[in-house]
Structure 1
Amino acid sequence: MRLHRNLVFAVIDGLHLIFNEGEYADKVVQKLLKRDSRWGSRDRGFIAETTYDIVRWKRLYAEIAEIKEPFDRPKLFRMFSVWAVLRGIPIPDWNQFEPTPARRIKGRFDALSKERKFRESVPDWLDELGVASLGEKVWTKELAALNEQADVILRVNTLKTTTPQLKQFLTGEGVATQTIPGYPHALKLVERGNVFVTQAFKDGLFEVQDASSQLVAPYLEVSPGMRVVDACAGAGGKSLHLAALMENKGQVIALDIYSGKLKELKRRARRNGAHNIETRVIDSSKVIKKLHGSADRVLIDAPCTGLGILRRNPDAKWKMEPGFLEKITRTQQELLADYSQMVKTGGKMVYATCSILPQENRQQVQEFLASERGSEFTLLREQQIYAHKSGFDGFYMAELERK
Structure 2
Amino acid sequence: MRKNIFCKTTVLLTMAAMLLMTGCGNGSAGDGADSAGSSEVSDNGGALESAGETSENAGTQLANPWRDATEEEVGYITEGYFKIPEGATNVVCSAMDKEGDEKPLYQVTFDLDGNNFTARVEYGAEDYADISGMNYEWTSTDEGKLAGWGDGNMEAKFYRYVGDECADLCTWYDIEIGIAYSLSTVAKNLDGFDIQAVAEAMYPGDDVLLDDFVQQAAQKETFESFDEVISYLTEGQGYAYINVIGHEGDVLAVTDYVYKNDDKTNASIGATLYGEVNGKIRSLGYVGSAGTAYPLAASDGLIYGCNPHSYEVYFFNPDGTGLMMKDDITESYDSAGNVSYYGFTRETNNFDDTVEFTGGEAEYNKYWENYFNAEVINFTVVK
TM-score, normalised relative to structure 2: 0.27
The structure where strand makes up a greater share of residues is 2
The structure where helix makes up a greater share of residues is 1
